[in-house]
């Protein structure tokens, strides 16, 4: 089954300079009751974004009109906590194509990659630079190229390369997934079971 294809994007960004953002903040447990993958974007960062009566909190980045774009830039250790894939679904469903941070929690990283959402790990210094530049100009454009594995602040030309598992890169740039791959090796699985 094909997933979304990702090769290259160039867009403004939404900055969230908070560290250790856990999956309970990305999507609180009480919103995990849906049985489909759609619609989680409405509750992305629910308790930071809305007050108890459901009114948008003005000072939260997603509610600030000056910020928009398809890249979320967040502080270190993004996505720690629960294995809920709903976190990746919520971010993608809201309209983000990539998340940039200086460190990602393992399970989140895997979940994101399985959903065509690219986690881009940059150095602490580069992350700091993005926050500074975006702070000075909220319309700053960032370019992410998965094929050549670099991220660039377009206006200043500052850029850095990033790592991505070659297999996962092939999946994302071609739109195929893990199940397709394992199914193509099914006879090996059956043979393994026979080894007992």
Partner 1 sequence: MGQTLFDKIWDAHVVSSNEGFPDILYIDTHFIHEVTSPQAFDGLRLRGLPVFRPQQTVATADHNVPTWDQHLPIKEELSRYQVDMLTKNCAEFGIELYGLGHPFQGIVHVIGPELGITRPGSTYVCGDSHTSTHGAFGAIAFGIGTSQVEQVMATQCLLQSRPKRMKIEVNGKLQKGVGAKDIILYIIAQISAAGGTGYAVEYAGDTIRSLSMEGRMTICNMSIEMGARCGLIAPDETTINYVKGREFAPKGEEWDKAVAYWQTLYSDEDADFDSVLSFKAEDIEPMITYGTNPGMGIGVTQHVPETASFEQKEQGSYKKALNYMGLHDDQQLLGKPIDYVFIGSCTNSRIEDLREVAQFVKGKHKADNVIVWVVPGSKQVQEQAIREGLDKIFDAAGFPLREPGCSACLGMNEDKIPAGKYCVSTSNRNFEGRQGPNSRTFLASPLTAAASAITGVVTDIREFLKEEELV
**Binders of partner 1: how many residues, by CB under 8 A?**
55
Beta strands 98-101 and 118-121: pairing type? parallel
| Pick 117 or 142: Cβ nearer partner 1 | 117
What is the 8-class DSSP label of residue 184? T
Q: Does 64 bind partner 1 (CB under 8 A)?
A: no
**Among 18, 95, 132, 174, which residue sits at the site for partner 1 (rule: CB under 8 A)?**
18
Residue 41 vs 81, nearer CB to partner 1: 81
C-beta of 47 vs 158, nearer to partner 1: 47
* Cβ-based nearer residue to partner 1, 12 or 25: 25
Min dist CB 37 to partner 1, Å, is 5
Q: Which of 61, 84, 100, 172 binds partner 1 (CB under 8 A)?
A: 84
Count of alpha carbons within 13 angstroms of residue 159, beta-carbon side: 14
CB atoms within 10 A of CB 68: 15
Could you tell me how far CA 123 lies from the centroid of its own chain? 17
Closest CB 46 distance from partner 1, rounded Å: 8
Q: Is 81 in the site for partner 1 (CB under 8 A)?
A: yes
Which helix (DSSP H) or strand (DSSP E) does residue 194 occupy? helix 186-195
Tell me if 106 contacts partner 1 by CB under 8 A.
Answer: yes
Please tell me whether residue 6 binds partner 1 under the rule CB under 8 A: no
Buried b (16+ CB within 10 A) or exposed e, 109-137: bbbbbbbbbbbbbbeeebbebbbebbeee
From the list 160, 45, 147, the residue with the least C-alpha distance to 102 is 160
The Cα–Cα gap between 140 and 22 comes to: 26
Which residues of this chain interact with partner 1, rule CB under 8 A?
1, 17-20, 22, 24-25, 28-30, 32-37, 47, 52, 75-77, 80-86, 88, 103, 105-107, 110-111, 114-115, 124, 128, 165-167, 177-179, 181-183, 185-186, 188-189, 192-193
């Amino acid at each position: 089954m094909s997933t979304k294809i990702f090769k290259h994007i160039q867009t403004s960004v939404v900055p969230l300079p908070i560290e250790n953002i856990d999956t309970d903040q990305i999507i609180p447990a009480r919103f995990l009751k849906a049985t489909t993958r759609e619609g989680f974007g409405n509750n992305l960062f629910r308790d930071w974004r809305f007050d108890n009566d459901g009114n948008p909190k003005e000072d939260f980045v997603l509610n600030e009109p000056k910020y928009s774009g398809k890249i979320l830039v967040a502080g270190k250790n993004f996505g720690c906590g629960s294995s809920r894939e709903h976190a990746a679904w919520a971010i993608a469903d809201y309209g983000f194509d990539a998340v940039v941070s200086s460190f990602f929690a393992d399970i989140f990283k895997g979940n994101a990659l399985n959903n065509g959402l690219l986690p881009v790990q940059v150095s602490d210094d580069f992350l700091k630079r993005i926050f500074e530049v975006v702070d000075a100009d909220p319309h700053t454009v960032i370019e992410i190229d998965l094929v050549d594995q670099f991220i660039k602040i377009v206006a200043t030309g500052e850029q850095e390369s990033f790592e991505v598992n070659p297999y996962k890169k092939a999946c994302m740039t071609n739109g195929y997934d893990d199940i397709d791959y394992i199914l193509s090796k099914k006879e090996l699985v059956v043979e393994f079971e026979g080894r007992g």
